[in-house]
Amino acid sequence: MQFDRSAAASALIGIGREFHRRGWSLGTSSNYSVVASRDPLELLVTASGKDKSALGEEDFLRVDANGGLLAGEGPGKASAETMLHCMIASVLPWVGGILHTHSVWGTVLSRVDLPRGSLRIEGYEMLKGLSGIETHETAEEVPIFANSQRIDALADQIRLRFLSPEWGEGSRPPFHGFLLAGHGLYTWGRDLAEARRQIEIFEFLFEVVARSRSWSAQSLPLPGGQPRQQWAGGGPGGYHDVQQQQ
């Protein structure tokens, strides 16, 4: 099937507007791509430094498997993280779309859980929105990698996780995305619709996990037995003192 560049760009423009509106792709953060060709591998990827709320068809560039611009592409340069997109598309031959976001919750959790090496999400019904998961009685371990400006080295490090034996077992992928610490989320799908859905699921779950941890921490008594304030909902100022049980 011939690649329809205009349709792909239009879909990515819509995703950029939505993700900006929802706080997942603010400023010039984030990058998106679709697989334009498999043989040879080529991607259509967002150009560097573009406001994702105002993308136009001219803000996408076609690159080869090494992230190099194809003849006739430009002006402009591909996103600094293009090699991560190329790596994902090369190791997962069924992937059609790759999306990267910079949300508040993903950024916070990726820093907090970096020493553990992954973020564990367990027992939530929304996990069933991730490809291959059919029950809430499961856990997703989202790998976390230290952020780096050496994208080639970072891509090689992450590639090793995709080459582990667990990727050849069962119908469910061992993980559906990964986090860069203090940075953001990468996920993918067979097409852009699936990749977008997985972004939405992950971002929901990140917020649930972060808010749950905050609630738990606020519920603990202060030294000396003094009550903490606990979130009561209802917007700013919705706190109340937790009364000690007699």
What DSSP line would sit under 141-188, residue for residue? EEEEE---S-HHHHHHHHHHHHTSGGGGSSSS-S-SEEEETTTEEEEE
Q: How confident is the model at residue 244 (pLDDT cuts 50, 70, 90)?
A: very low
| Range from 54-63, 90-99, 226-235, 236-245 carrying the lowest mean pLDDT | 236-245
Tens-digit pLDDT profile for residues 210-239: 998 887 666 555 555 555 544 333 333 333
Q: What is the pLDDT of residue 200?
A: 96
Query: What percent of the chain is modeled with pLDDT above 90?
Result: 65
Is the pLDDT score of 183 beyond 90?
Answer: yes
User: What pLDDT, on a 0 to 100 scale, did the predictor assign at position 225?
Assistant: 57
Query: What pTM, to 2 d.p., does this model score?
Result: 0.85
Q: What is the pLDDT of residue 78?
A: 85
Distances 206 to 60, 83, 141, 145, 189 between C-alpha atoms, Å: 29, 25, 12, 16, 19
pLDDT attached to residue 138: 84
Residue 235 has what pLDDT? 35
Nearest to 109 by CA among 174, 175, 157, 179: 179
Q: What is the mean pLDDT of residues 33-61?
A: 93
Q: Does residue 59 have a pLDDT over 50?
A: yes
Instruction: Give me the chain's average pLDDT, please.
Output: 85
User: Which pLDDT belongs to residue 234?
Assistant: 34
The predicted structure's pLDDT at residue 226: 55
- The ranges assigned to domains in the chain are 5-219
Angle at 108 between CA 137 and CA 54, to 5 degrees: 100
Sequence-distant (≥ 6) Cβ neighbours of residue 238 within 8 angstroms: 231, 232
Q: Give the model's pLDDT for residue 80.
A: 80
Structure tokens at 201: 């699921």
Q: Taking 80 as the threshold, does the pLDDT of residue 133 lie above it? A: yes
Query: Is the pLDDT higher at 146 or at 226?
Result: 146
Asked if 95 and 189 count as a contact pair (C-beta separation under 8 A), the reply is yes
The answer to whether residue 195 scores a pLDDT higher than 50 is yes
The whole-number pLDDT of residue 227 equals 53
Asked whether the predicted pLDDT for residue 110 surpasses 70, the reply is yes
Cα(71)–Cα(58) distance, integer angstroms: 15
Residue 71 pLDDT grade (very low, low, confident, very high; cuts 50, 70, 90): confident
State the CATH architecture for 5-219: 3-Layer(aba) Sandwich (3.40)
pLDDT at 27 over 90: no
- Residue 238 is predicted with a pLDDT of 33
Mean pLDDT calculated for residue range 175-190 = 95
